Amino acid sequence: MNRTDRLYAMVEELRAVAPRPRSANWLARRFEVSARTIERDINALQQAGVPVYAEPGRTGGYTLDKSLTLPPVNISPEEAVAIAVALETLHGTPFHHAARSALRKLVAVMPATRAAEAHELAGRIKLVGPADLQWPPAEVPAVIAQALSARRVLRFGYVDRHGEPTAREIEPIGYLGGRGERWYLLGWCRMRGALRAFRLDRIADPVATDEVAPPRRLDPADLADIPARLREPTLR
């Protein structure tokens, strides 16, 4: 049994007995490998987003959160690659890392043979960026995405288009951007006392505080006005 087949079979075994755990030694005997190999396999599954947890104790082991997993997904290799290509268009947006995580979870629950075929097919596809994209896409630090989801106040350094550095503290509200465009973080800037948009590639050393930001209602008029105002230095 190759590793891909073993990982798939291991997930199915843990799903079948959940919430009861299986020890590394038990899994090692079941799949005729060493306990060390099982530990590496479990780590690979966790990195792929499969909700496998270790339960300590004499009767502990590895268990799967059944409520957070999918049964085998009956999609073709071509369909899997089509999803991968579509998700790749999110590169350079605030949703790139979430898209890759979702894809790994999907592949993890595909039948092993189809997953292998999808990997082979994907290897024969090359993507190039749009010709009109004249700047490198900005990756969104995980701390920003997490702070936005949890409504945590953010602190970071920011450099405007004139090269002037400032220290900002904001209440994150959302993102602004589009395909082939720069992306901005929308937030209530406590230094300016107003809604501001911050270019993601000009944000440095973001830190999420423990403070929960108060709920703020975006005025549609302000939101509609932001694209025009992005040219102004105060929003840079």
pLDDT beneath 70, residues of the chain = 66-73, 92, 124-140, 178-181, 219-236
- CA 140/CA 150 separation, integer angstroms: 16
Question: What percent of the chain is modeled with pLDDT above 70?
Answer: 78
Contact 80, 114 (CB under 8 A): yes
Place of tokens 């009109």: 132
Domain boundaries for CATH 2.30.30 within the chain = 142-235
- CA 191/CA 54 separation, integer angstroms: 45
Domain at 142-235, CATH from 3.30.1340, 3.30.310, 2.30.30, 1.10.150:
2.30.30
Segment holding 102, helix H or strand E? helix 96-108
Domain boundaries for CATH 1.10.10.10 within the chain = 3-68
Angle between helices 112-122 and 77-88 in degrees, nearest 10:
50
Looking at residue 231, what is its pLDDT?
46
- CA 205/CA 51 separation, integer angstroms: 30
User: Domain spanning 3-68 has what CATH number?
Assistant: 1.10.10.10
